[in-house]
Structure 1
Amino acid sequence: MKGGAWSHGPLCACSQWGGGYRDCSAHARGGAEASLWPSCACSGLSRVQSAVKPILCGMSGSCAMNTGRSRSVNRVFPVPRQNSLLQPPIINPFIYHVHLSVTDKLKIAVASITLVPLRLLCIFFVALVAWPCALLGRVCCPVCANSDPIPNWKRRASRFVLKTLGRAFFFCMGFMEIKVKGKKADAAEAPILVVAPHSSFFDAAVNIVADMPSTVSRAENADIPLFGLLLQCSQPVLVSRQETNSRRKTVEEITKRAQSRGKWPQLMIFPEGTCTNRTCLITFKSGAFIPGVPVQPVIIRYPNRLDTVTWTWQGPNAMTLVFLTLCQPYSKVEVEFLPVYVPSEEEKCDPLLYGNRVRSVMALALDVPVTDHTFEDCRLMISAGELTLPMEAGLVEFTKINKKLNLNWDNVRSQLDNFAAIANVSKGGRIGIEEFANHLKLPITPPLRDVFSLFDRNGDGTIDFREYIIGLVVLCSPANTEETIQFAFKLFDLDKDGYISEEEFAALLRSSLGVHDLDVSKLFSDIDVEGAGKISYEIFREFALAHPEYAKLFTTYLELQRYKVLQTKDDSDDAETLKKAQSPNTSEESLSSSDKKAD
C-alpha cells in the first residue's frame, strides 16, 4: 500500500485519502447512483463534515453502508511498521565513557608518579632511534601511490626496522604481549587483510604481527610527526574523506595492488572506516571488496578489566586514553586471523554483498551484532552537536536510510536543521507531543495524536531524529500529493471564490478539531506570506509541499471522520437487528402465557 491506498482491488476515495479501508461497493459506478448518497448515514453531518461527505461516502458513488451488507468496521493505520526500519540492536556505537572505581583512581594516582615517568622515558629513547630510521625510510621508499613496489631487500629491511620499533613502543605502553590466534595467509593467497572492529589507535598492533603490510589510511595521518614518516615507509594508500576524486583513485589503487599477484605487499584495511566502541560491527565500506579477490578477516580483542583504549567520537580524547593506558600495570591485546574468505561469482559482482557476508563471519566470531551505521552518522553527530543537540541525536543508521528511503547525506543534514528547531533540548533532543503540536501550531487532538503515534515508531512517547526522517518519507510524502493539496484547498475554500480567508480557515479547523476557541492566526500568517489576508492556491500549495506533516494530519482526520460515521451506522444496524431478533421471542412468550391462563 502506498500513500494510504491499497495496491490491489477496487478502491474508494476514502482509501486514497489515507483511510486504509477497502472498497465502498458502489465506487466508480457514478451516474444515477450518485443521487443515492444523500440518504446514507452521512446525511446528518455538520457544515464542515458535510464538506467532506463525498470523501466519506466514496466520492462519486453510494456509501458502502447502503449496500445492505453486514460488516464490522475496523480502523487501521495505512502504513505498517517495517521490520527493516526498526531500531538497531546497538543504538550508539560511537560513544564510550571510562568508569573508574575508587581503587582505579588510587592506582592511577600512584602509577602517575612512578610507572608513567619511566615508561615515557623509554618511549622517548624509542623515538630517538625511530626518527633517523623514518627519515632514511622516506628516502628509500617512494610515497607516490602510482609508483612501483620497492625492491624485496628494501621491503624486508624496512619491515624488520618497523616491526622492531613498533614492538618496542607497544612494550613501553604496557602491552607485554600481543597474543596471536590463527595463521596469516601470504599475499598470493589473500592480497587483502580486513581488520575489525576498529576502535583505537592501538589497533596498529595488527601491523606488527601481520609482518608490516601496506595500509589504507587517512591522508591526515601522513602529517603526524614521526608517525607519518614511519607510515610512509610501508607505501600506504592514503585517502581523503572530503575529496570525491581521492576516493575514486583510492579504489583504483587498491584494485591494482590486490590484483598484482604478490608483487605488492598485502594491504591491511579497516573496512568500518571509523572507530567504534566494539559493541557491534557497523557497515563495511566496499573498497576492500571491489577487486573481488580473496580476503583474510582479522579480528582484534582487548580483554582488559579496565578499558583504556577505546577511542570514539563521543568519549575521552586521545591524550587521556594514552595516559590511562600508561598507568595500567599491563594491557592485553589479541589478534585472530580467521580462515581466508574466497568470494563466489555473485559476491565478486556485488561488493556490498561480499562485504556484508565477510562482516557476518567476523561478527559471529566476535559474538556481536551488526548495524547499518557508518562514517556519515559520525558527521551527523558533529552537526547535531553544532546545533546544540546531544551528539547521539544525529544517529540514523545512514546506510539503511540511504538504501531504504533513497536519501543522501545532504537530504538528511537539511532535515536535521528542521528537527533541531522543533526538538526540546532539555528532553534529550527529542520531540514530545507538545513540541509536535507547537510546531504545527495546532492543539493536541485525536488526529494529531494519531499522526504523532505513527512517527513514534518505538512507542516511547517521543520522536527522535531517525523516527522523524522515516516519518517524513514514509508517512507524509506519499500523502502530500497534488490531489490531496487540491482537495484540501477546495475544502477550506467554503465560498468557492478561489481564495481561503482567515475566517474560512478558522471555521474549518475549529469545527474539524472540535476546538471552538482555536486561535489560527499564527498558522494562517505563516501560510499567507504576502500578507494579503487571503491565500491563493499557489501559496497554499507551496506551503503544503514544504510542510508535508499537514498532509498526513489532513488524511488522518478524514480517516477518523469516516471511521466514526461507519461505526455509528454499524451500531445502529446492530441495534435494529437485535430488536428484530427479540420480537419473535416476545410473541412466543405472550402466546405461552395465554396458553397457561387458558389451562
Structure 2
Amino acid sequence: MTFIILLAWLFASVATFQHPRKGSVPLKGWRRRMIQTTLSCLTRTLFFVMGFQVKVKGKIATPQEAPIFVAAPHSSFFDAIISALTGMPSVVSRTENLSTPVFGTILSSLQPISVSRQDPDSRKNTVTEITKRALSGGQWPQILIFPEGTCTNRSCLITFKQGAFVPGVPVQPVLLRYPNRLVKLCVMTLCQLFTKVEVEFLPVHIPTEEEKNDPIIFANRVRQTMATALNVPVTDHTFEDCRLMISAGQLTLPMEAGLVEFTKINKKLHLQWNRVREQLDTFAAIASASKGGRIGIEEFAKYLKLPISDVLRELFLLFDRVSSWLTRMLTMFC
C-alpha cells in the first residue's frame, strides 16, 4: 500500500509540475492522460491490495452525457473507489486536505474544487466553480460530488446540498453499498480477508425545465430516485443540523436543538449559519448567568434582535428543556 501511494504521489507530482495551482487552468494533453490512466490504475490496484472486491453495475456516463456524478451514501474514505472507476474526476474537497503530505499532492492532481467551511463566501464560490466547469463543454474533467456534504451511517439519505444541481445539467446518480458487516475502522477492515463493495451507476437524470429553474426540486428528485434504489428512507436533516447538535451537546444544551426543526425555522428567521456556534456560546452563557439557569422568550428575542412571533416561539421551545419535556409528556399521555 505504501509503495503504491508513493508511486501515485510521484506521478501526481510529475503531472502537476509547473502547472498553475488552485485549479485555475484545466490539465490537458499528457498531463490529463497520466491522471486518468495511471492514477486510475494505481487506485484500483491499491483497493485490490487492501482486499476489496468491487462489483460494478450499470453504464458509466461520458462527460457529454453527464458532466457531474452525484454519489451517495457517503460514509467512508473508501468511497474514493468511485474515482478510480470514472477516470479520476475532479472532486469537492476541504481546503485543509490539499496541504496534507503526499495525499495533498495526489488530491491536487485531480484539480479539486476546494471548499472552506470557515469562509462565509466559500459556498457561493464553490457553486460558481462547479457551474463553470459543468458548462465548459468538456474542457474540465467530470465532477464527482457527494451531495450529502458529510459522512453518514448509510441508514438513510440526508438532505442533498444544491451545488451539483444549480448548473441544471444532466447528472448521473451513483450508489455505494458495502455488503460486509464490518466497514467501520480502517485497520479492522484491512484485517478481513476481503471487503465487498458494490458501485451502481444509475441512468443519467436529465433535468426538466422545472428542475433547471429550481435546484431544490432537482436535488430532491434525484435523492428520492437513489433512496428508492437503495431501499432506504430519506430525511430532511442536513450537515448543519449535525454540526449544531454536536455544538449544543458540548454546551450542555438540549441536543434536540440540532434536529431538523431548527433548519426549517432557521430558513424563516434568516439566521446566519456561520454564527450558529457563537450564538450558542452566548446563549449558554446567558442561561448560566441567569437565576436558575433560565432565560425567557423576551430575553431570547432581544438577543436575536427579532420580534416575538409564532416562529420564534417554536424556535425557543427547541431550546427550552422544561417546556419541551412537558410537551413530550403531554403528547405521550394524550
Task: Provide the rounded CA distance (Å) in 1 between the counterparts of 2:160 and 2:206.
Answer: 17
Shift of 1:181: 0.6
How far does the alpha carbon of each residue in 1:494-526 deviate from its partner, in whole angstroms, 9 at most, with x for none? xxxxxxxxxxxxxxxxxxxxxxxxxxxxxxxxx
Q: Any residues of structure 2 matched to 1:423-442 within 5 Å, and which?
A: 439=294
Shift of 1:336: 0.7
1:400 counterpart residue number: 264
Residue identity in the other structure for 1:194: V
Identity of aligned residues (%): 54
2:182 counterpart residue number: 307
Task: Provide the rounded CA distance (Å) in 1 between the counterparts of 2:177 and 2:202.
Answer: 13
**How many residue pairs were aligned?**
303
- Name the one with the larger strand percent: 2
Q: Any residues of structure 2 matched to 1:214-225 within 5 Å, and which?
A: 214-225=90-101
- Counterpart check, 1:145 vs 2:23: yes
**Cα distance change, pair 473–369 in 1 and its aligned pair in 2 (3 A):** farther
- Counterpart check, 1:209 vs 2:95: no
- Counterpart check, 1:324 vs 2:188: yes
Shift of 1:473: 6.1
Residue identity in the other structure for 1:189: E
**Cα distance change, pair 161–475 in 1 and its aligned pair in 2 (3 A):** closer
What TM-score do the two structures reach when normalised by structure 2? Answer: 0.81
Find 2:32's aligned residue among 155, 159, 162.
155
How far does the alpha carbon of each residue in 1:410-440 deviate from its partner, in whole angstroms, 9 at most, with x for none? 46863676579879xxxxxxxxxxxxx9848
- Counterpart check, 1:414 vs 2:279: yes
Structure number with larger C-alpha Rg: 1
Shift of 1:475: 7.3
Find 1:348's aligned residue among 192, 203, 212.
212
Structure 2, unaligned runs of 5 or more = 297-307, 324-334
Shift of 1:252: 1.5
3-state DSSP of counterpart to 2:15: helix
1:135 counterpart residue number: 13
How far does the alpha carbon of each residue in 1:20-51 deviate from its partner, in whole angstroms, 9 at most, with x for none? xxxxxxxxxxxxxxxxxxxxxxxxxxxxxxxx
**Cα distance change, pair 422–185 in 1 and its aligned pair in 2 (3 A):** same
**Cα distance change, pair 363–404 in 1 and its aligned pair in 2 (3 A):** farther
**Contact 1:194 1:298 (8 Å CA) reproduced:** yes
Find 2:223's aligned residue among 342, 346, 359.
359
**Contact 2:162 2:219 (8 Å CA) reproduced:** yes
3-state DSSP of counterpart to 2:45: helix
1:172 counterpart residue number: 49
Task: Provide the rounded CA distance (Å) in 1 between the counterparts of 2:285 and 2:192.
Answer: 42
Shift of 1:407: 4.5
Find 1:264's aligned residue among 129, 134, 140.
140
3-state DSSP of counterpart to 1:244: coil
Shift of 1:199: 0.8
Shift of 1:325: 0.9
Residue identity in the other structure for 2:73: P
Residue identity in the other structure for 2:198: E
Structure 1, unaligned runs of 5 or more = 1-122, 310-320, 424-436, 442-471, 481-546, 551-599
Shift of 1:249: 2.1
**Contact 1:140 1:154 (8 Å CA) reproduced:** no
Root-mean-square deviation (CA), in Å?
3.1
Shift of 1:370: 1.3
1:126 counterpart residue number: 4
**Cα distance change, pair 219–395 in 1 and its aligned pair in 2 (3 A):** same
**Contact 1:214 1:265 (8 Å CA) reproduced:** yes
Task: Provide the rounded CA distance (Å) in 1 between the counterparts of 2:237 and 2:89.
Answer: 27
Shift of 1:406: 4.8
**Contact 1:239 1:250 (8 Å CA) reproduced:** yes
3-state DSSP of counterpart to 1:139: coil
